[in-house]
Amino acid sequence: MIHATLDDVGTCGNDGMAAVVGYVAYKANWDLFNSIWKPRREALGLDYLHTSEFLRKYAWFGKVEPTDDDIYKCLKPFIDTVHMSLTQPERGFGVCVVTMCDAYNALSREEKKVVPEPELNSFELAIGLSALQVKNELTEENTLAVQMDESQNAPALLKRYTLLKAENDTLKRFLGAICFADDKLHQPVQASDMLGYLTLRAWRNYLAGKEWPTAFRNLVAPEGRRNVASVVYDEKKLKGLAQMRLDLKDRMAMPEE
């Protein structure tokens, strides 16, 4: 079974976007990940890795703001672990879906009926993107299982996941179970949390006209090789998505001749 382990990051109020990010790999690759991640985490005296908490303790060192190099040096053992176990060719890959809140607000009332609010949109499209990347490997015996960081939004995400399977016959066949995991107990979610934290820093740099932060660049594009399938839903992409769904809705409503 292929496992997609995801986390959400960003809010409309603080960041102007909502994203869902994570990693997709076979169980054997996740087993390798766990076997490397755990000793590296324990060597730093950590019961778990929550990236923002870890960096406040180790990267700030009393500074107002650490440098990008400070952050990269602190996270390098974990970034290297992701590369070794999850994002080597034929092992796995990352996913990142960003929905811009202004773009969602620009949709008409009719368009919003077929496009959910930014966090839910990013969630369902991250699952769809994950499945699309491994579509040739999915069968009814080898489905895609989804693990999501647990949060207060879990009931809404579960409802959306259930609707997603009900509305899409292909995903209904090839999506397996979903579970919501505590990142303090489940190490794969910690890797997704790290990707989410660095994605948010990269997003803020993008808005400020700056380059990608060092740690983000080394995580998602080591030596220039992109290992994350990513989509940013701006107004044009969201309206295109809405139109596609409205057209499909109209075709399904047409009586057969």
Q: In which band, very low, low, confident or very high, does the pLDDT at 81 lie, cut at 50, 70 and 90?
A: very high
Tell me, what's the pLDDT at 67?
87
Question: Which of 29, 5, 23, 31 lies closest to 146, judged by CA?
Answer: 5
- How many domains in the chain? 1
Q: What is the pLDDT of residue 130?
A: 95
- Please give the residue range of the domain that contains residue 222: 2-253
Q: What is the pLDDT of residues 147-188, one digit of tens each?
A: 999 988 899 999 999 998 988 888 888 999 999 999 999 999
Confidence class for position 255, pLDDT limits 50, 70, 90 = low
**Given this model, what pLDDT does residue 252 score?**
66
Would you call 168 exposed, middle or buried from its count of C-beta atoms within 10 A (0-12, 13-18, 19+)? middle
Give the chain's end-to-end CA distance (angstroms, integer): 42
253, pLDDT greater than 70 = no
Q: Is the pLDDT of residue 16 over 80?
A: yes
Mean pLDDT of all residues in the chain? Answer: 92
User: Which pLDDT score, from 0 to 100, does residue 206 have?
Assistant: 93
* pLDDT at 106 (0 to 100): 98
CA dist., res. 44 & res. 47, Å (int)? 9
Distance CA 220, CA 229 (A): 9
pLDDT score recorded for residue 65: 80
- Is residue 257 pLDDT above 60, yes or no? no
d(CA 237, CA 166): 24
Distance CA 86, CA 185 (A): 19
Lowest mean pLDDT among 54-63, 221-230, 242-251: 54-63
Query: Cα(27)–Cα(31) distance, rounded to whole angstroms?
Result: 6
DSSP state of 48: S
Task: State the average pLDDT over residues 72-88.
Answer: 96
C-alpha dihedral (104, 109, 112, 117), degrees to nearest 10: 50
CA distance 7 to 43: 25
Confidence of residue 256 (pLDDT cuts 50, 70, 90): low
Read off the pLDDT band of 254 (50, 70, 90).
low
Q: How confident is the model at residue 227 (pLDDT cuts 50, 70, 90)?
A: very high
In tens, the pLDDT along 32-69 reads: 999 999 999 999 999 999 999 999 888 776 667 888 99
Reduced to 3 states (helix: H, G, I; strand: E, B; else coil), residue 5 is strand
Span 82-109, average pLDDT:
95
Own/partner contacts of 221-229, CB < 8 Å, gap of 24 or more, are 222/83, 227/83, 227/87, 227/93, 227/94, 228/21, 228/93, 228/94, 228/95, 228/96, 228/195, 229/93, 229/94, 229/95, 229/96, 229/129, 229/133
Query: Does 239 have pLDDT greater than 60?
Result: yes
- What's the CATH number where 172 sits? 3.30.420.10
* Cα–Cα distance, 14 to 19 (Å, whole number): 13
